[in-house]
Amino acid sequence: MNSAKAPEMGGLGSFEEQVMLAVIRTGADAYGMSVRRELERVTRRSVTIGSVYITLDRLEAKGLVTSKRTAAGTDSPSRRVFSVTSAGAKALSETRAARDRLWDGINLQPFLREV
Amino acid sequence: MEHEPQRDNRAPEPLTGVAAWLFRALLPIAERDEVLEDLAAERAQRAATQGRLSARFWLWRQLFGSLPALVRRAWWRGWTGFEPTANRLNYGGFAMETWIMDLRFSARRLVNRPVYTLLAVLTLALGVGGTAAIFSIVRALLLDPLPVEREEQVGVLWMDGSWTEQEFLHFRPDFPGFQRMAAYMHGDQTLEVDRQPLRMVRGISASAELFDVLGARPFIGRTFQKGEDVVGAAPVAVLSHGLWQELGGDPSIFGRQLRLGGESRTVVGVMPPGFWFPSPTIRVWTAARLKPDDQDGNWTLIGRIEEGRTIEGMAGPLRAFASELKQRFTYLPDWDKTRAPAIRSLRDYIVGDVRTGLFATLGAMGAILLIACVNVAALMLGQVSSRSTELAVRSALGAARRRLVQQLVCESLLLGLLAAIAGAAVATAAFRTLLRVLPLGTLADAARVDWTLFAAAIGFALLAALLVAVVPAGALWRSRLQGSLATARTSGLSSRGGRLEGGLVVAQIALAVLLVAGAGLLLRSVANLRSVDIGIRVDSVAVIDATMPVQLSSDERLRAVLDILPALEALPGVRAVAAALKLPLRGSGHNFGIGIVGKPDLEKSTTAFRTVTVNYLAAMGIKVVRGRGFIPTDRLSTSRVVVVNEALAAKYFPGEDPIGRVLQTFDDRGERIIGVVANVAEQDLTDGPVPARYMLYEHVPIFVPATSFVLAGQRPEDVPRLLDSGRQVIQREGRALAIERTLSMASIFEDAVGVPGRVAVLLSLLAGLAMALGAVGVYGVISHSVTRRKRDYGIRLALGLPPRRVASHVLGRGLRLVGLGSLIGIGAALMLTRLLATLLYGVRATDPQVLAGAVMTLVIAGIVACFIPAWRASRTNLMSVLRDE
């Protein structure tokens, strides 16, 4: 069974970017449910646990995040916690740079006035 | 940045019910507990802050929102084989993952072994296709409900086709044991439509209760009413849906007049699509004209029995009926109807005759499918044992036996799916062939290719695939996988596997020998039938059956026939043209009593009587052996003439010269014998010579409104052209003639060969299939055994054994299998071929030549099948074998 493939360079999907940022924001204890909560809190949109897990799996397969198992505690089960890899961080900054280039020189005022 | 839920000192209520079950099912094992706990915790927190209802709503939104993503994830994991390191110690989850993985693996294996895959798929497809086709036919004809309400309450009385109007009308008010009884008989009608040639429509003439007995309701209008079936009532008719559509499909046809059988009938109704009675070719039902004193017995009685009775329980009422019959009517001992009263259920009456043939074919096809499954199972067994090292390694690495068997089942299902697709194509072709070849008569029209055929193909293919997997899976389950690792180096053979495979192939060969023997017997019978001397030319004669309106008088019928002959004779390429009321090889009938001037003590007897035109003998190629045939001046002469055949001369004038003697058929004037002709098969092919006599149309009254035109050409290739131009001439100029069918004398001959001929074709097809499958089986086993013994052969060849010794050793093993199978097959053939006895002609069921031929055929097939493996074995290169290890 193969896990990590060679990391892909270039643009991340929008939700992939959001999940990776949420993993970073959540910090040390970034398990599926906590990532989901952070994402929901910041984007103010409802997020399902299934979509978070499938995205995390694909990101891990691409080598952009990694996961490990914590030991089970007295009142908490063993959890799979995620963290962003250096390849993932690189992908994030490239995506951000591409987005900045797209935003460069954009003035939204004329469009906002029409509303 | 972390937002932990407010920790309650109590543990949150765990998830239960459908939500918990669905999540458990879709999550990987390693993540189940943590996700469910987290969901429970968050639900508890939301319940505390936003209320229980809101919390429950949130949970269900999570569930439904996550379902597609979790299913996609399971599929993707299966497809890519991804398993995160974090879950490695606790892998696994949704069963779909492993199934998808196994399907991909199996697909790769099949693609990498094209010969095995092709062999397995084609083998299964042949079996699946044939079985699906015959199953479809059986379902349509035997299992589908008839277009009759509660058909188990409807039955047909014994002596069908022999009841008189007098008998029916006498008992009409009250048939003991029946709610209602109807009578019907054949009543084909000519149909005249403006500006179209006269055409023939199959129909029946029926009493008014018929549709009530059947419980059939009309699509448009009504069915017959009481009183419409007596003399003097206005003639009415009910049309089939198909005929109504042909006539324009006009909903206002109710009440319109149609010229049927030369008179105007009012159309009172149209039946719904899918309704047919008593056969799918009947397209019009006309109300009969029943006369209370009519004693012509042509009617069939069909009735609906009383509520609460069953067909089986009708013995009592039928006996009562029979005794009442006896009291009211007198019967001669030879024609006593009251002797054995009986009733047949409607289904039995309509399909009873074909039932055995259909079930026999279904059984045979099922056997073929079984052979195919056995074949593929053997092929798979071969694969399993040649993978024994790989499987042992997998098992040592931790693969559960269940998982290995699951992979086998996946491979088998994939083969089944491919076989279903190929099998559907085979099924369509087989369906059409079977319809033509089986003796179904007019019922064949009720069976059509439809989606159920393909559903059947898929169903049988999947069933076959599962069956196929059973034996190899069982072998895999039981085998000592680790043990085979130890023996791999020394090339140990799993002898148990080899025996099982060999046993399966021996069984196939036995079945194949049985079928080939049966086919051989039938083919010889057919050859014998075909070589019967029938006394007529068959190969270049075209036949057009025509019918006339029943209202025509005898003179009008005569004119209708004679007036069209010159136009037919003028067609290019015609050698001779004639007409006859009844042609040879069309069964018995048209027998008249014979009287001979000068033999007053002659016992009452009948001979076959044929009404013909002047060129008949020349057109049919009948040889005149004494005296002369008919000449044109005979037609106009007032003294009647007759031609007799040798059998009649031998029977009635033994040792005398019949020329010049006078026979009496219709009156004392009689007819003079002018010639004797060779015997012709006037009735059935196997009847032997029957006495027959021939008279001209001009000299006899024409009793029946039908006639057959015979156009003799120069060569067999002329027949289609003659039929075409003959048909056009009759449609254009024969105003009182409606064409019933066009065919050739050759096809009449084929029909006369009849059931043995058709079954011979069928059995030959099956035998060919069985033989091909048997050869595949032998190839599979021998090829596999050669692969396993590669090392042995390599060493022996290196040590100096001549290659042909190796080849003959392989061949010998194959022939031993074939020999053992043939022995068993011959034993089965000796016991079972007597079931064919009724179909055999001129050959015994245990004919030694045929049995020997069957064995020889299988031996040759076996040799061909072993050829490649034997050649491969003799060319084994020891160095490459050792290198491979």
- pLDDT at res. B146: 82
Q: What is the DSSP letter of B7?
A: P
- Specify the number of domains making up chain B: 4
The whole-angstrom distance between A90's CA and the closest CA on chain B is: 22
Q: Are residues B127 and B230 in the same domain?
A: no
Q: Are residues B141 and B200 in the same domain?
A: no
What pLDDT, in 10s, does the model give residues B781-816? 888 788 778 888 888 888 888 988 889 988 998 899
- pLDDT at res. B760: 82
- Per-residue pLDDT band for B18 (boundaries 50, 70, 90) equals confident
Residues 823-842 of B with CB under 8 A from A: none
Angle between helices B52-80 and A49-62 (to 10 degrees): 30
Domain finish residue from B715, B748, B781:
B748
Contacts of A32 in chain B (CB under 8 A): 31, 34-35, 38
**Closest to B451 measured CA to CA, from B471, B428, B474, B432:** B428
Q: In whole angstroms, give the CA distance from residue B512 to residue B530.
A: 26
Q: In whole angstroms, give the CA distance from residue B728 to residue B722.
A: 10
Q: Quick check: B1 pLDDT over 70?
A: no
Q: Quick check: B510 pLDDT over 80?
A: yes
Contacts of B2 in chain A (CB under 8 A): 26-27, 29, 34, 38
- B820 within domain boundaries: no
Q: Is the distance from CB of B811 to CB of B870 less than 8 angstroms?
A: yes
Question: Which residues, 6+ apart, have CB-to-CB distance to B514 below 8 Å?
Answer: B825, B828, B829, B832
Strands (DSSP E) contained in B271-325 are 284-287, 297-305
Q: Are residues B426 and B557 in the same domain?
A: no
Domain finish residue from B748, B769, B800:
B748
Q: In whole angstroms, give the CA distance from residue B397 to residue B389.
A: 12
Contacts of B73 in chain A (CB under 8 A): 50, 53-54, 57
Q: Are residues B409 and B454 in the same domain?
A: yes
Provide the Cα torsion A25, A28, A33, A38; round to 10°: -20
What pLDDT, in 10s, does the model give residues B231-271? 889 999 999 999 999 888 888 888 899 998 888 999 999 99
Contact: A48, B76; criterion CB under 8 Å? no
For residues B383 and B487, which has the higher predicted lDDT (pLDDT)?
A: B383
- pLDDT at res. B576: 94
The tokens describing B711, both together, are 């156009």
The whole-angstrom distance between A107's CA and the closest CA on chain B is: 33
Contact: B83, A34; criterion CB under 8 Å? no
| CB-nearest partner of B84 from A34, A49, A60 | A60
Q: Are residues B574 and B702 in the same domain?
A: yes
Contact: A1, B61; criterion CB under 8 Å? no
Mutate to test the interface with B, among A16, A39, A46, A54 (most CBs of B within 10 A): A54
Q: In whole angstroms, give the CA distance from residue B485 to residue B483.
A: 5
Residues 29-48 of B with CB under 8 A from A: 30-31, 33-35, 37-39, 42
Q: Are residues B130 and B181 in the same domain?
A: no
Contact: B69, A67; criterion CB under 8 Å? no
Q: Quick check: B490 pLDDT over 60?
A: no
**Closest to B494 measured CA to CA, from B485, B482, B504, B484:** B484
| CB-nearest partner of A46 from B26, B31, B61 | B61
Q: Quick check: B105 pLDDT over 80?
A: yes
- B770 within domain boundaries: no
H or E stretch at B517? helix B495-530
Contact: B86, A49; criterion CB under 8 Å? no
Report in angstroms the alpha-carbon separations of B123 from B386, B424, B473, B784: 21, 13, 20, 18
Contact: B73, A53; criterion CB under 8 Å? yes
Chain A residues near any Cβ of chain B (below 8 Å): 1-3, 25-27, 29, 31-34, 37-38, 41, 46, 48-51, 53-54, 57-58, 60-61, 66-69, 75-80
The tokens describing B96, both together, are 């779909």
Contacts of A78 in chain B (CB under 8 A): 33-34
Domain encompassing residue B586? 541-748
- B550 within domain boundaries: yes
- Per-residue pLDDT band for B482 (boundaries 50, 70, 90) equals low
The tokens describing B220, both together, are 């448009």
What pLDDT, in 10s, does the model give residues B634-679? 988 888 999 999 999 999 999 999 999 999 888 888 899 999 999 9
Q: Are residues B289 and B427 in the same domain?
A: no
What pLDDT, in 10s, does the model give residues B546-565? 988 878 888 999 999 999 99
Q: Is the distance from CB of B610 to CB of B694 less than 8 angstroms?
A: yes
- B458 within domain boundaries: yes
Average pLDDT (B771-779) is 84
Q: Are residues B252 and B128 in the same domain?
A: no
- pLDDT at res. B519: 87
- B873 within domain boundaries: no
Average pLDDT (A99-111) is 91
Q: Sketch out chain A's domains with CATH numbers.
A: 14-114 (1.10.10.10)
What pLDDT, in 10s, does the model give residues B286-340? 999 898 888 877 899 999 999 888 988 889 999 999 999 888 888 877 778 888 8
Q: Are residues B360 and B449 in the same domain?
A: yes
| CB-nearest partner of A48 from B37, B69, B81 | B69
Q: Are residues B460 and B363 in the same domain?
A: yes
Q: Are residues B593 and B473 in the same domain?
A: no
State the CB neighbour count (10 A cutoff) for residue B712.
Answer: 22
- B806 within domain boundaries: no
**Closest to B416 measured CA to CA, from B470, B457, B455, B464:** B464
What pLDDT, in 10s, does the model give residues B671-722? 999 999 999 988 888 878 889 999 999 999 888 888 999 999 998 888 999 9
- B101 within domain boundaries: yes
Question: Which residues, 6+ apart, have CB-to-CB distance to B838 below 8 Å?
Answer: none
Contacts of A1 in chain B (CB under 8 A): 81-83, 91
What pLDDT, in 10s, does the model give residues B360-389? 778 878 878 887 887 787 778 777 777 777
- pLDDT at res. B631: 93
State the CB neighbour count (10 A cutoff) for residue B417.
Answer: 15
Domain finish residue from B733, B748, B763:
B748
Q: In whole angstroms, give the CA distance from residue B24 to residue B29.
A: 8
Average pLDDT (B47-62) is 93
Residue type at position A68: K
Torsion B468-B471-B474-B480 (CA) sign: negative
Q: Which residue of A has its CA nearest to B70?
A: A50
Q: In whole angstroms, give the CA distance from residue B280 to residue B129.
A: 26
**Closest to B464 measured CA to CA, from B386, B380, B385, B388:** B380
- B794 within domain boundaries: no
Could you tell me if B390 lies within 8 Å of chain A, comparing CB atoms? Answer: no
H or E stretch at B769? helix B745-788
Provide the Cα torsion B259, B264, B265, B270; round to 10°: 30
Q: Are residues B164 and B312 in the same domain?
A: yes
Contacts of B33 in chain A (CB under 8 A): 77-78
- Per-residue pLDDT band for A9 (boundaries 50, 70, 90) equals very low
Q: What is the DSSP letter of B444?
A: G
